[in-house]
Every structure is written in C-alpha cells, then in structure tokens.
Amino acid sequence: MTTSEQISTSESAIRAHLSSARRIVVKVGSSSLASTEAGLDMERLSSLVDVLAARQLAGSEVVLVSSGAIAAGLEPLGFTHRPVDVAQQQAAAAVGQGQLMSAYTQAFAAHGLHTAQVLLTKNDLARKSSFNNALRTFGALTRLGVVPVVNENDTVATREIRLGDNDHLAALVAELVHADGLVLLSDVDGLYTAHPKDPEAKRITFVKDVLELEVDVLTPGTSGVGSGGMATKVEAARLAAGAGIPVALARWDQAGAVLAGEQVGTVFAASSKRMSRRHGWLAHASDTQGQIYVDPGAAKALIDTAASLLAIGVRRVEGRFHAGDSVEIIGPNGLIARGVVAYDSTDLPKLVGRTSSELTTSMGGQYARPIVHRDDLVMSRTVV
C-alpha cells in the first residue's frame, strides 16, 4: 500500500491514490442530506450509502462523518428553519440523531454491513486519554468490518453547534485513524476562484499547497439547514493535508466518481511527510493550558534548528498547567509552536532565565532537563 509519505504531488497521482486508499474518511454535510421542508432525503442518503458500501465491500475501511442530526429533527418538530436558540438546536439534534442513525443502519444493512454510532466533540479529542480511547474504539470497529458513523454530539456541545465544525471534526478523525484520504462532500462541486454563483468563477481542480491558497471562501451558503461553509472545508483540508493526508472536495452525488479517481471536484495535495499521531494530536486537537514566552534567541533556535526549549530562553509563563499538558510557545513575533511541557506552572518561574549548569548546581540535575523537548514540539505552520 502506498503511504502518504510516498505520494507524488501531482493531481493525477493524488486522484489515483484516493481511488485505492485502504482507509478513507468521508464527510457529508447537512444540506446534502436534508431540507427544512422534507427532513431527511432518503433517496440521497441511500445513494451515498450504495457508494460507500461498495467501497467497504471491496476491501477498504470506510469511516463516515455525517452531519444532519439537527436538520433531520427540524421537520418532526415543526421547525421551518434551523433555530438560533441553542436549546432548540439541541432538541432538534436529540430527535434527529436517532432518525439519522436508523436511516444509515437500514441502508448499510441492505448491503450486509453493520454500522456503529460514534458521537464526539472536539473536547473529547483534546484530552489525550479520551483521544486514545477513541482510537481504540475505531480500531476495534474497523477490524470487525463495522462502518463507524461519526457526528458531533450536538445535544451537549453548545460551542460546536455554533461553529458548525463537522468539517474540522472529519479532519481530526482522519488524522486519528491515520486515514489514507479524506473526502468532503457538500452541495458544491468543488472549490472555486470566487463564489460559484459569480459568472467569472472557475473551479479549481488541484491545490498543491493549501497554505498558499488565496480565494474568497467567506460567502455563506443558503441551504437553511447546514451551518458550515467553504471556509471550514478549506481549513479542514489544511489540517488534513498538513498531517500528510490527501483531501478531495466534491458534491454529494459525485462521491462514486471522486472515490474512483475521476476528474471531479477539487483535490488537495498532502504534505510530503505524515505526522505521528502524537504530533497530530498536539498540533490540531490538544487543548493548550498556558503560554510560555521566549526570548529572540530561543525563538530563532526553535524555528531554525532541531532545538529543545531550555530554561535560559524563557522570559515568562502564563496559565496554570501540569507537567504533560500542552502549551503554546510564544516568541517576539507571535506563536512559534505547541509543546508538551515537562514542568508544572508552579515550578517554572524559579527556572526562568537560568542555564542548565546553574540549575544543576542550585536545584539538582532533574531541573536541568528541557522545558519542552524537541520531540514534544510541533511548529506553528502545522497548527490549525
């Protein structure tokens, strides 16, 4: 199996890789599955499941990240539009999630496949312990041939509901399971140079470096049921591609074509090197507990060389954290990196600005170790 480290940056190679990827995460948005007037569109859902089931039965491991719980709950509750009130959104999600899973269970069962509901919030992935628990769950399900159906836990996740960030969640899941590809499906057939309704807009078929992408993706959608948009999809592509995972963006009814490697949608090249799960968690999912401010010399060493952060380069510490927590490292010009700190915040102030030899002499050798070891650092270019 070709790995992301070996994938060429050419469009044709990436499309071919997606067509043969062993483990693939597919995300579908609310507007592709439901409307405020009719609720879940069973024909669309079944059509998507037909494609994903065929891929699973052909030997791939498919993980489906599906929005649609809130949208599915609107019609039964008599809502004519997505409510603004968070409690009503949670009520719609509570009603709709059951309908959504029932629909997926029946549709996949028609192909002889079992499904499993996996409800997550970004906070579940921010803690290393629950991140590892989620990893074990996905591993067990895929080994058993079950299709995980993932959604944000909208009945409790108020912040996530407001952000509408299932695109981000899909990228985190792709990184968590070390997917070979991520496919983002919506009601738009790719990334455009301007809003698709603009007559001058042209579809972008290939993005070699998402970090250098310059297009207007801020115009919101008008479906009335979704809460994301093109901006969240580009950010998700940036996260996944930065972690070494190729990404495709296509319309929901192009799922079969994009998974077959056809010339549809937009594909994003992965970075040349896949992140380890530890570094991926640190860069994209961890919940930082504080900030460590460093001087210009330490900042330069961290950016230009494979250096660890030593006490002598630290100027001040903010926040409350414990050894093993993730923190932000801030230089004179802003964020440099995230790292796993080796000391409690209560211990760090007495180490600040001192050399390793001074610390060994006055406090003992255990205090001469790095504040953040290089192996526990990810640089800011990879942080989303």
Per-residue DSSP letter, 156: T
Order of strands across the sheet that contains 377-379: 314-319, 290-294, 326-331, 334-340, 377-379
Residues 254 and 301 in one domain: no
Q: Over its length of 384 residues, how does the chain's per-residue pLDDT go in tens digits?
A: 344 444 557 899 999 999 999 999 999 988 888 776 667 889 999 999 999 999 999 999 999 999 888 888 888 888 888 888 888 888 988 999 999 999 999 999 999 999 999 998 777 887 788 888 999 999 999 999 999 999 988 676 655 434 346 898 999 999 999 999 999 999 889 999 888 888 888 999 999 988 777 776 655 444 444 445 788 888 899 889 888 899 999 999 999 999 999 999 999 998 767 777 778 788 877 888 999 999 999 999 999 988 999 999 999 999 999 998 899 999 999 999 999 999 999 999 999 999 999 999 999 888 889 999 998 898 886 655
Distance separating alpha carbons of residues 341 and 348, to the nearest angstrom = 10
Domain that holds residue 309: 288-382
Give me the CATH number covering residue 80.
3.40.1160.10
193 in the same domain as 95: yes
> Are residues 293 and 276 both part of a single domain?
no
22 and 153, same domain (yes or no): yes
Domain count, the chain: 2
Greatest Cα pair distance, the chain, in angstroms, is 73
On whether both 302 and 276 belong to a single domain, the answer is no
If asked whether residues 293 and 271 sit together in one domain, one would say no
pTM for the model stands at 0.81
For residue 220, give the 3-state DSSP assignment.
coil
Determine contact, residues 150/173, Cβ cutoff 8 Å: yes
- Amino acid making up residue 348: L
Angle 166-176/128-143 helices, nearest 10 degrees? 70
Asked if residue 250 and residue 136 are part of one domain, the reply reads yes
pLDDT digits (tens, 9 = 90+) for 166-190: 898 999 999 999 999 999 999 889 9
Residues 149 and 15 grouped into a single domain = yes
C-alpha dist (Å) from residue 141 to 63, 137, 198, 276: 10, 6, 44, 22
Strand order in the sheet with 23-28: 115-120, 147-152, 61-66, 23-28, 181-186, 247-251, 266-268, 206-207
pLDDT digits over 268-285, tens only? 998 767 777 778 788 877
DSSP state of 380: G
Identify whether residues 184 and 35 lie together within a single domain: yes
CATH of residue 330's domain is 2.30.130.10
Among candidate residues 235, 257, 280, the one where a domain is terminated: 280
- Count the residues in the chain: 384
Which of 361, 316, 246, 355 is closest to 10 using CA atoms? 246
CA distance 83 to 201: 32
Q: What residues contact 80, with CB distance under 8 A and at least 6 apart?
A: 36, 37, 74
Quickly count helices (H) and strands (E) in the chain.
14, 17
Helix (H) or strand (E) holding 191: strand 191-192
Residues 298 and 268 in one domain: no
